[in-house]
C-alpha cells in the first residue's frame, strides 16, 4: 500500500493507446490441429493428444521474431477487425480456420493500403470446416494454393544476390521442419 501511494497521484494521467506498428492475429477458431480430424474422442487420450496447435506455434514464432527485431507489436483478435487500419502490417500466422467476415475484413484492409503477412494454410479452410481449393485471401496475397508440401526437407534457392552471398558457398538452403521451434523433435 505504501509503495503505490507514491504513484497514486499520477493515475489520472495513465491513459493513451499503445503505439504498435504490427498486429499479430490470434484466432480462437484456429486453436486446433487437422491431425486429429476424424478421430473419435475416446481415441484421444491425454497422453496421445498432441496439443501442438500449428496456429499457436506460428503465433509464438511471429512474436519471438518481432521481439528480437525490436518491432512494436500487439496481439489482436476478431474484436479488432474494425480497427485494422491502426496497423501498418497485420500478421496472420497459419490461421487454419477463418470465416467469411474475417476474410472480408482483411481484404478490405488490403484494399485500403494495409499490408498482410500470412503463412501456410491461412484462409484456406472456413470455421464451418469447408476447405476451399484456393485461399479466401488469394486476391490479397497475390498467390494461389497449389498443394501441400508433405516432404520432410524443404530447399530454397535465394533470389537476392545479398542472400546468396551470405550463404555462399552453399547454393541452396535446406530446412528440416522437425528441427525447428515450430515442430520440436519427438522425444525418444
pLDDT in tens, 8-49: 998 888 888 878 999 999 999 998 887 777 777 776 665 555
Q: Which of the pair, 44 or 73, is modelled with greater confidence?
A: 73
How many other C-beta atoms lie within 10 A of the C-beta of residue 73? Answer: 20
Strand partners, 91: 24, 117
Percent residues over pLDDT 70 in the chain = 85
Average pLDDT of the chain is 85
Cell 528441427 found at? 179
State the DSSP code for 38: T
For residues 147 and 152, give the distance between their C-alpha atoms in angstroms, rounded to a whole number: 15
Comparing CA positions, the residue from 99, 145, 137, 139 lying closest to residue 118 is 137
96: Cβ contacts below 8 Å, ≥ 6 apart: 27, 29, 30, 32, 34, 54, 55, 121, 122, 124, 125
Count Cα atoms within 13 angstroms, Cβ side, for 172: 6
Taking the model in full, what pTM does it have? 0.71
User: Quick one: pLDDT at residue 155?
Assistant: 72
Task: Quick: pLDDT tens for 75-124.
Answer: 999 999 999 999 999 999 999 999 999 999 999 999 999 999 999 899 99
Amino acid at each position: 500500500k505504501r509503495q503505490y501511494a507514491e504513484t497514486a497521484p499520477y493515475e489520472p494521467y495513465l491513459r493513451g493507446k499503445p503505439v504498435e506498428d504490427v498486429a499479430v492475429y490470434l484466432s480462437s477458431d484456429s486453436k486446433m490441429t487437422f491431425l486429429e480430424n476424424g478421430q473419435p474422442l475416446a481415441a484421444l487420450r491425454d497422453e496421445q493428444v498432441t496439443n501442438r496447435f500449428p496456429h499457436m506455434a506460428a503465433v509464438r514464432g511471429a512474436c519471438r521474431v518481432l521481439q528480437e527485431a525490436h518491432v512494436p507489436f500487439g496481439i489482436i483478435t476478431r474484436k479488432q477487425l474494425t480497427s485494422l487500419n491502426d496497423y501498418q502490417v497485420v500478421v496472420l500466422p497459419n490461421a487454419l480456420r477463418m470465416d467469411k467476415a474475417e476474410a472480408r475484413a482483411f481484404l478490405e484492409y488490403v484494399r485500403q493500403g494495409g499490408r498482410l503477412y500470412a503463412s501456410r494454410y491461412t484462409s484456406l479452410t472456413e470455421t464451418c470446416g469447408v476447405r476451399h481449393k484456393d485461399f479466401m485471401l488469394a486476391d490479397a496475397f497475390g498467390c494461389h494454393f497449389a498443394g501441400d508440401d508433405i516432404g520432410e526437407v524443404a530447399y530454397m534457392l535465394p533470389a537476392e544476390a545479398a542472400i546468396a552471398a551470405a550463404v555462399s558457398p552453399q547454393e541452396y538452403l535446406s530446412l528440416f521442419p522437425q528441427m525447428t521451434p515450430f515442430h520440436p523433435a519427438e522425444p525418444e
